Amino acid sequence: MVTIRTERPVDEAAREALLDIAYGEIRHSKPSAKLRRGRLPAEGLALVAVEKSKMLGTVRLWNVSAGGRDALLLGPLAVHPEARNRGIGAALMKRALAEAARRGHGAVILVGDEAYYGRFGFSAARTGALHLAAACDPARLLACELVPGALDGAAGPFRATGRRLPLPALTGLGALARGGHPRLIPRAA
């Protein structure tokens, strides 16, 4: 039985391995990946699908400004090749959209195929005046308004607005003054 739950810190290695299998190294150079870099997913909107402690799917949503309007950027959505055609991707999408709506978000945007994502309410009808990057095909920039009118007047580029990843803090500055090297320790969140 597949369970969809909120991602936990211990899921990181399995999530990254799954994304490598699903997308390969090119995933790091995509415009949406560059926008997410250095940020944390939106609160409560990083989900995984697991079965018998094996991660079969993942989806994350990120806070962005889409041409001046608050929105979420969805991605990546991935399902392990051995678990495809079982409805896991659809279940992750439905759960992510429901949770985003429950948390009061107005719109979700993604880069993908309308033929697949249209069944979840996504289309290019509200994204014509938005641009993610020159390399992004405008026909693949899709939106789903969770609140009607949430993207009214949205025009221009995307900007990351979510929480930043915590940076390591420097300690041992006295050692640095004496010619030594400071050590890095994680900063409390």
CATH of the domain at 21: 3.40.630.30
Query: What is the C-alpha to C-alpha distance for residues 4 and 183, in angstroms, rounded to an integer?
Result: 39
Residues of the chain above pLDDT 90, percent: 77
Name the pTM for this structure: 0.86
Q: Which residues pair with 4 in a beta bridge?
A: 49
Residue 167 makes CB contacts below 8 A (sequence gap 6+) with 187
Query: What is the C-alpha to C-alpha distance for residues 185 and 10, in angstroms, rounded to an integer?
Result: 19
Question: If you average pLDDT over every residue of the chain, what do you get?
Answer: 89
Tell me: the pLDDT tens digits for 137-169? 899 999 999 999 999 999 999 999 999 998 765
Tell me: the pLDDT tens digits for 74-133? 999 999 999 999 999 999 999 999 999 999 999 999 999 999 999 999 999 999 999 998
Query: What is the C-alpha to C-alpha distance for residues 172 and 76, in angstroms, rounded to an integer?
Result: 39
Structural domain tally of the chain? 1
Tell me: the pLDDT tens digits for 52-71? 999 999 999 999 999 999 99
Domain span including residue 141: 3-186
Is beta strand 107-111 parallel, antiparallel or unpaired with respect to 69-74? parallel
